[in-house]
Chains A and B, each alone.
Chain A
Amino acid sequence: MSKKNALFVCVVLLVICVGSSAQVRTPDQMLINPDPKDWVTYGGTYSSHRYSPLKQVTTANAARLLARWVYHLDGMEELEPTPIVLNGVMYVSGFNRVDALDARTGNIIWKYQRQPPVATRQRGTAVYGDKVYLVTSDSHLVALDARTGGVRWDVKSEGGYTIAGGAPLVADGKIIVSGNRPNGFIQAFDAMTGKYAWTWSALPTPEDPAYATWGGATPAGAPIWVSGSFDPELNLIYYGTGQPNPQWTGSPRPGDNLYSDSIVAIDVKSGTLKWHFQNTPHDTHDWDSLETPVLVDATFRGQPRKLLLQANRNGFYYVLDRTSGEFLLGTPFVDQLDWATGLDKNGRPIVAPGHDPAVKGTKTCPSTMGATNWPPPTYSPDTRYLYVVVAEGCGVNVIMSSTVPDSGTGYYESPHAPWQAYVRAIDVLTGKRVWEYKAVRSNHYGPGLLSTAGGIVFAPEQFGQVSVLDAKTGQSLWHFNTGDVITAAPATYSVDGQQFFAIASGTNVFAFGLSDSR
């Protein structure tokens, strides 16, 4: 047997072995170690790297990418989901609907539509075994048969909580949802049966010492509207929480207002809080900590660590130990940041005075829109960079009355520091900026990102362009004008040996790949 043939046999055997072992893997194993051809969770993997080992498309051939198909979701206003792809089938969701598509061609396989149709955005679905999960506008969690869209079970949220549009997360056999009303919460159900398991409220009860951080006010707010990450070894899920209420007026709630604007680690079995880290104590700028926590294992200052990375809406990039929540590093990732002069040794911001919203308006950088926002970043283990969609600029925060709390508020773009979006590569261990790519005309947080073993960052832009960037340099290698606003996050997958990149733009899903005659 020639060397070439021997190699071929080895490859065939490898495929058979991988293929057959995949068939006997449990649904949990399929999510913990997903097949590289699939995009099985909102974050691509539990660590939310949004990195794919696929490398058919590389820096060398990305210039030859083509649009392979487009699928229109009728009746929608705008799409924000990350497509989920499993075994050649793509699941795209809105509130109350899932469209299952042939991921090679964009042909519809089935559509589940729950009444009433809702046109507003929602951020995705989840798969587990043979089920696809959907959160609905009336706070139900529905499990569908992945083959047909038939309803397998349908449960209502427990305790009157309103489920938000973040993608559900399956972890340790539970399906996790979250929401904003009446306050931030995370809720878990058995993924097989839908049986209610637990609720974690982002607001402390009077028995909790954290209750004292509200200065006598009743805790309010801390919404949770973005999916989190999961460490199966520690059996902890990591979520961000949103701002305290009243939103822009701090005086009625003196104190840090836990657990608002925090990264929280919740034990999946019990639903109890393992640790928390508050990015923005006593927030008056609506800087939700909902930016996706990215889980990376690395040697940090000579010590192997389980790290959690987050580029936060308040303008600081954070590195925490995800076992304990210990603060390790914090550094600004935007140039325009004036509300704090830095972080202390515990990661607490050293607040600069004079930035509370006022009737006449108070300029603050970054703006309430944030230095970044929910659109997820990507981490490449090849470059060890975190790639983040960043918005430079400042905002002016206004309250309508200095005497009536929360009587009315707003913010607008500072005329002196208009907003501009970039993709920035951040060295994860130092927080230093390695390169940036300016997304011309994109002034707002827009789409999320992904990276691949092909050395590329797939970087859609708010202003409709889809770009492929060199992960090492940020140089643009290819682009395509989708003709509509993009505020969704991409996925990459492979079917029959062909790698695709999918992104929702406006009310369409686009899939890109190399031509068949490559």
Chain B
Amino acid sequence: MRTGLFIALLLVVSSAGSLMGQRGAGAGPPNPFLGNAQAVSEGETLYNQKCTTCHGSGGGGGEIGPAIVSGDRLDIGVSDAQTFNIIKNGVAGTPMTAQRLPDSDIWKIVTYIHALRGTAIENPLPGDVAHGEAVFWGKGQCGNCHMVSGRGGLTAPDLSNIAGTRKSSSIVDALTKQQHRVYSSGGAHLRTLPAMDSYLPVYVTTADGKTIDGVLLNEDSYALQMIGNDQQLHLFDKSKLRKVAIEPRSLMPTDYDKRLTPDEFKDLMAFLTRQGRVAGPASGRRGAPPEGER
């Protein structure tokens, strides 16, 4: 049935209607241990005792329970209060039973799961950041295509806030796994018309025979937007082009764990997982004027 289709794989517990209903409703008590590294560590120990049998180590999913931490940058929209509620009360009709633990222990598990789900900037990877930066601009040749804080190339996504938008695991995957970026959550409806973030190579021939090579920012049935290898933005009506060829394979190498020494790779990850800003609290109600404009 159709309702089953719209829920990301990670969320689907087909009989867990109550869990679905809670999604997005962020209300509930605040997490008392948020940002507390000691609680993350204790939460990990508790998680490994109580949760891994079903949900797998690191929340990646097991034989009985679903994954509770996504492998990609997309994260499941369950608040800490909701996660607390699920652990404390269980999910009716599923093997997820209520856990008899002190509330403080449940919050520590929640804090650990929060860290697993959080962005890289909240959980940066260890390493020599300065050396990682040198690898980025040097041996890694990342800056030929990527820009960080105004320096670098334009033919790949700007990484100035990469750690503020992705998880550390997602950044590691991007440099090491070929297929990390093609998954879309199962059956999820588009909610907006997003630009393409795949930066696929595109080769365009205009009506007058001029060729422009570069990467695709967006297209639909009628128009195309790209960045050329000339580092310029090009906007086209497809009907006015002689030829458009899109290569369905990203230019991004995915063997950095082999191209670089283990230390270089580790330090590059330490650098990348610190490029960004911690997201601020959500702004006010929709329709409310910004502060100072009342």
Binding site for B on A (CB under 8 A): 78, 180, 221, 223, 225, 242-243, 246-248, 286, 288, 290, 359, 368-369, 373-374, 395, 398, 400-404, 406-413, 415, 418, 438-441, 443-444, 461-465, 467, 476, 479, 481, 483-485, 487
Contacts and interface: CB of A to CB of B under 8 A. Distances in A.
Contacts of B220: 440-441, 461, 463-465, 481
Nearest to A249: B14
B221 A395 contact: no
A467 B221 contact: yes
B193 A484 contact: yes
Interface residues of B, number: 38
A225 B1 contact: yes
Contacts of B14: 246-248, 406, 408-409
Given A408-B94, A485-B193, 6 more contacts: A247-B14, A288-B1, A401-B63, A462-B190, A479-B222, A481-B220
A415 B1 contact: no
B95 A404 contact: yes
Contact of B7 (A373, A401, A410, A438): A410
Nearest to B93: A406
A500 B114 CA distance: 51
Contacts of B187: 368-369, 411-412, 444
Contact of A401 (B1, B64, B186, B219): B64
B94 A359 contact: no
A410 B12 CA distance: 6
Given A407-B95, A476-B221, A368 B66 contact: no
A63 B153 CA distance: 41
A286 B4 CA distance: 9
B189 A485 contact: yes
A417 B185 CA distance: 14
Contacts of A479: 221-222
A45 B7 CA distance: 34
Nearest to B180: A415
A411 B66 CA distance: 12
Contact of A286 (B1, B9, B10, B193): B1
Interface string B181-218: 01111110111110010000000000000000000000
A215 to B, nearest CB: 21
B179 interface: yes
Nearest to A487: B189
B2 interface: yes
In terms of DSSP, what is the predominant structure of the interface of chain B?
Answer: loop
In terms of DSSP, what is the predominant structure of the interface of chain A?
Answer: loop
B68 to A, nearest CB: 11
B1 A413 contact: no
A518 B257 CA distance: 64
B233 interface: no
10 nearest CB pairs, A to B: A410-B9, A412-B186, A410-B12, A408-B13, A411-B186, A440-B221, A223-B1, A415-B182, A415-B179, A485-B190
A465 B221 contact: yes
Contacts of B190: 444, 462-463, 485
A505 to B, nearest CB: 10
Nearest to A480: B222
B65 interface: yes
Nearest to B15: A406
Nearest to A464: B193
Given A438-B221, A441-B219, A481-B220, A407 B1 contact: no
A400 B221 contact: no
Interface of B: 1-2, 4-5, 7-16, 61, 63-66, 94-95, 179, 182-187, 189-193, 196, 219-222
A395 B1 contact: no
A249 to B, nearest CB: 9
Nearest to B188: A444
A400 B13 contact: yes
B221 A461 contact: yes
Contacts of B193: 441, 463-464, 483-485
Nearest to A438: B221
Contacts of A373: 2
B186 A400 contact: no
Contacts of B222: 465, 476, 479, 481
A148 to B, nearest CB: 30
Contact of B65 (A247, A400, A441): A400
Given A400-B66, A408-B12, A408-B94, A221 B221 contact: no
Contacts of B1: 180, 221, 223, 225, 242-243, 247, 286, 288
A439 B5 contact: no
B8 A410 contact: yes
A261 to B, nearest CB: 11
A411 B11 CA distance: 11
Contacts of A410: 7-12, 66, 186
A359 B63 contact: yes
Contacts of A180: 1
Nearest to A396: B186
A175 B268 CA distance: 66
Most chain B CB within a 10 A radius of its CB, from A403, A404, A410:
A410
B182 A408 contact: no
A438 B9 CA distance: 27
A406 B66 CA distance: 12
Contacts of B186: 368, 395, 410-413
A92 to B, nearest CB: 20
A242 B1 CA distance: 6
Nearest to B178: A415
Contacts of B12: 408-410
Given A359-B63, A441-B219, A407 B9 contact: no
Contacts of A476: 221-222
22 contacts: A221-B1, A243-B1, A286-B5, A288-B2, A404-B64, A406-B14, A406-B15, A408-B65, A409-B12, A410-B7, A410-B12, A410-B186, A413-B184, A418-B182, A440-B221, A444-B187, A461-B221, A465-B221, A476-B221, A476-B222, A479-B222, A484-B192
B13 A407 contact: yes
A242 B193 CA distance: 30
A374 B9 contact: no
A225 B2 CA distance: 8
A350 to B, nearest CB: 26
A485 B194 CA distance: 10
A400 B191 CA distance: 27
Contacts of A400: 13, 61, 63-66
Nearest to A245: B1
A109 to B, nearest CB: 26
A369 B188 CA distance: 9
Contacts of B11: 410
